């Protein structure tokens, strides 16, 4: 509170005053949507925008052709006015933007009819945007001098294009790495064999090891996202192998599975259970056997 009071008393308002010297134009913001693959490998996009340009009729002066802006008599062309104000500490001076010329230092009596005295005209333009390989969702691409025009001969501002990456039905991304899942059959999990795995570079053949458990994670080196700083450096792809249990079996397949269950030594059928109980019972009798 005291900072605001003392700032007003001692000329704090001067910081808000606009300079009548050359100033860079304001930056503009927009967005563009790209696919997951376009974010990985980069792409070229074209966006449609309404931009301001210097009025060709008046040359950016805002004045009617044949006339020119006049120096503001209130501020003397400085764009700022100084006035005295009585405070608790005596008379102080305050500096503010000139209310007559709004800080420009110029007064336009005869306005240009093309730009209505603003010095700018608007038109729709197509702008090409180069999206670098490896860009992530929410990051922005800066296009120099495609923003608002500068003031008093200053340079144009920049255009900041935010990149929105669409989600992918198979791949997820974390930093430079890609994550996905791949199904394998029960037979492949037990016996091993080749399976086809999708990557952003296309399908690859992976050799499944015998005895692979479901949710086993494997790494495909160099199949991730390129680095923004060095496109020759890429992350990895991590694939979770999911064993698919068949939900519908033929009678022949069921019989074969029962035969496998019987010879595997891991059977949990009733007969096997009784065998376990008998073994335990036998051990118990042996434990309580009377010594000679």
Residue 136, pLDDT score: 97
For the chain, the structural domain boundaries read 11-165, 172-244, 251-282
CA 167 to chain centre: 12
Distance CA 260, CA 277 (A): 23
Say if residue 12's pLDDT is above 90: no
> Which of 9-18, 108-117, 170-179 is predicted least confidently?
9-18
Residue 11, pLDDT score: 42
- The helix (run of H) or strand (run of E) holding residue 287 is helix 270-287
* pLDDT confidence tier of residue 19, bands split at 50, 70 and 90: low
Residue 6, pLDDT score: 41
Phi, psi of 4 (to 5 degrees): -65, -40
* pLDDT confidence tier of residue 240, bands split at 50, 70 and 90: very high
Task: Tell me the mean pLDDT in the region 183-198.
Answer: 93
Distance CA 190, CA 100 (A): 86
Highest CATH level, class, for 11-165: mainly beta
- The helix (run of H) or strand (run of E) holding residue 283 is helix 270-287
What's the CA angle centered on 145, arms 50 and 133, to 5 degrees? 90
Q: Do domains 11-165 and 172-244 have the same CATH topology?
A: no
Under 8 Å between Cβ of 147 and 79: no
Residue 170, pLDDT score: 96
119-162 pLDDT per residue, tens: 899 999 999 999 999 999 999 999 999 999 887 778 999 999 99
209-226 pLDDT per residue, tens: 999 999 999 999 999 999
> Which of 89-93, 215-219, 270-274 is predicted least confidently?
270-274
Under 8 Å between Cβ of 161 and 132: no
Say if residue 268's pLDDT is above 60: no
This prediction's pTM: 0.70
DSSP 198-214: EETTEEEEEEEPTTPPT
153-187 pLDDT per residue, tens: 789 999 999 999 999 999 999 999 999 999 999 88
Residue 285, pLDDT score: 43
- The helix (run of H) or strand (run of E) holding residue 33 is strand 28-34
- For 109: left if phi > 0, alpha if psi spans -120 to 50, otherwise beta; the answer is alpha
Q: Which residues contact 158 (CB under 8 A, 6 or more apart)?
A: 27, 28, 142, 143, 144, 145, 146, 147
Q: Which residues contact 271 (CB under 8 A, 6 or more apart)?
A: none
Residue 20, pLDDT score: 58
Task: Tell me the mean pLDDT in the region 272-282.
Answer: 44
> Which of 83-92, 124-133, 234-243, 245-254 is predicted least confidently?
83-92
DSSP 56: T
Highest CATH level, class, for 172-244: mainly beta
């Amino acid at each position: 509170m005291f900072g605001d009071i003392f700032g007003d008393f001692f000329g704090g308002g001067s910081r808000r005053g606009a300079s009548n010297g050359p100033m860079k134009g304001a930056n503009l913001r927009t967005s563009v949507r790209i696919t997951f693959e376009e974010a990985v490998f980069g792409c070229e996009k074209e966006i449609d925008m309404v931009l301001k340009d210097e009025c060709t009729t008046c040359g950016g002066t805002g004045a009617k052709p044949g006339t020119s802006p006049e120096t503001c008599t209130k501020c003397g062309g400085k764009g700022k006015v100084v006035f005295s104000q009585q405070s608790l500490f005596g008379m102080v001076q305050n500096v503010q933007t000139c209310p007559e010329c709004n800080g420009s230092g110029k007064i336009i009596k005869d306005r240009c009819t093309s730009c209505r005295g603003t010095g700018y005209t608007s038109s729709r333009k197509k702008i090409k945007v180069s999206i670098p390989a490896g860009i992530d969702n929410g990051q922005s691409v800066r296009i120099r001098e495609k923003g608002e025009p500068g003031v008093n001969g200053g340079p144009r501002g920049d255009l900041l294009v935010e990149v929105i990456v669409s989600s992918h039905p198979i791949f997820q991304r974390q930093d430079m790495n890609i994550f996905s899942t791949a199904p394998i059959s029960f037979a492949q999990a037990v016996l091993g064999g080749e399976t086809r795995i999708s990557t952003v570079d296309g399908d690859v053949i992976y050799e499944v090891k015998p005895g692979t458990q479901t949710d086993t994670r494997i790494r495909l080196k160099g199949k991730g996202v390129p680095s923004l700083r060095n496109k020759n450096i890429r992350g990895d792809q991590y694939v979770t192998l999911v064993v698919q249990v068949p939900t519908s079996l033929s009678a022949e397949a069921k019989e074969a599975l029962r035969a496998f269950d019987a010879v595997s030594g891991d059977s949990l059928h009733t007969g096997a259970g009784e065998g376990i109980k008998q073994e335990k019972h036998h051990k118990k009798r042996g434990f309580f056997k009377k010594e000679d």
